[in-house]
Amino acid sequence: MAVRKRGTSEAAPANPPTTTDSPIAPSKVGQILRVSLIFFVPYLYLIFSHYKIDSDLKRSILINAILSSAGFVVTLTMIPVASRYVLRRNLFGYDINKKGTHQGSVKVPETLGIAVGIVFLVLAILFQYFNFTSDSNWLVEYNAALASICFMMLLGFVDDVLDVPWRVKLLLPSIAALPLLMAYAGHTTIIIPKPLVPYLGFEVLDLGWIYKLYMWLLAIFCTNSINIHAGLNGLEVGQTVVISSAILIHNVMQIGVSSDPEYKQAHAFSIYLVQPLLATSLALLSYNWYPSSVFVGDTYTYFAGMTMAVAGILGHFSETLLIFFLPQVLNFLLSLPQLSGYIPCPRHRLPRFDPQTGLLTGTNDGTLVNLFLRQFGRRSEKSLCILLLIFQAICCCFCFMLRWFLTGWYK
């Protein structure tokens, strides 16, 4: 969901402009990179200093990081180019949260998530040359993961172009997750929490098809939860950046403390998918941060949600992933009465914008955005987005603390 009112074809000029100048404002890349040091410093410290990671595994992670850095630069370059093309095809919108101001009348290019997704897929395919052999046990699942991500990105782009109804949107990830489910050859067992073992009499339970059903539902939830927790400049990409950062730190920590080669490889597999996602998302955020020069569209939200779901499923840390998604879970629960049709659901469940003060006021719609405004009072769009991202980061930190507290007692 983007913060926009879609433009119509009648607004398109008969002869589209042919200028080569970028129609969008310059990126905020310097600001984004400075803030991202909060993640990169501890992440690099864990890899190079704190943990003794196998040299082969560290080499693969570094190759993936170098490719991801190149993808960051390519994405920064592609977004202005892609913006010109989508504007010529009348894929633009108006920022509803700036209605009544000059910025509210500016045509903002939409569906720029397609540029991020294309760069991500190229990086992920190229990485296979450096890391996987033709007989690798992980290659089938890696390609199945890319197929699900690509399928979801395609369906997201279709949604951006055709503007499908909400209830249809909820079903799209269920289709895109099929390649992953069909190719999944990993375990379908769960470890019983230690306090329950004396009562149940066993430590491991094989769920069989129920585990795959859980994987399917998790993919649907993660994909849609990013899409519905939206409505502010930078919120969709910002939450993806925060969660991706937490996933990467979690994976490195698990690799560092484990002695099981397969367990390490599962978490490294997750890193190979999430590092390119983070790099390309940071490039997109530099254009999408307030005031937004581009809209990411459902193409990006579906793509990002599916990528993190796949990383969590194949990395075998789905419980941890759900705690990282705690704000999205809360937003989904708040949204459920309207999404189910029990309460009338408007087209845009956005706060009210006052053009005189530039502040947003919460409505009674069931979203975390409106809940924060009702609890903390009227705020500017930028400060509200920062507050929500801080809450996202706090939930990720809570997850790390919870894992530390329960280690050795719960499992």
Q: Which residue has the higher pLDDT, 135 or 264?
A: 264
Q: Which residues lie below 8 Å from residue 163, measured CB to CB, with a gap of 6+?
A: 6
The pLDDT of residue 163 is 81
221 domain-assigned: yes
| 254 compared with 411, residue with greater pLDDT | 254
Q: What's the pLDDT score for residue 77?
A: 96
Instruction: Establish if 66 belongs to a structural domain.
Output: yes
Q: Could you give the C-alpha distances from 153 to 9, 144, 223, 244, 284, in angstroms and in order?
A: 24, 14, 11, 18, 16
| Percentage of the chain exceeding pLDDT 70 | 93
| Structural domain contains residue 339 | no
Stated pTM of the model? 0.92
**Nearest-angstrom CA–CA distance, 11 and 14:** 9
Helix (H, G, I), strand (E, B), or coil: what is residue 322?
Answer: helix
In a domain, 400, yes or no: no
Going 87 to 93 to 95 to 100, the CA torsion angle's sign is positive
- 289 is in which domain, residue-wise? 54-318
Cβ distance 364 to 338 under 8 Å? no
> What is the reported pLDDT for 12?
41
86 found inside a domain: yes
Could you tell me if residue 21 is inside a domain?
Answer: no
Q: Report pLDDT digits (tens) over 80-94.
A: 999 999 999 989 999
Q: List pLDDT tens digits, range 289-301.
A: 999 999 999 999 9
Number of domains in the chain: 1
Residue in the block written with tokens 């990006």 = 300
Domain contains 306: yes
Give me the DSSP letters along 259-292.
--HHHHHHHHHHHHHHHHHHHHHHHHHHHHSSSP
- The answer to whether position 175 is within a domain reads yes
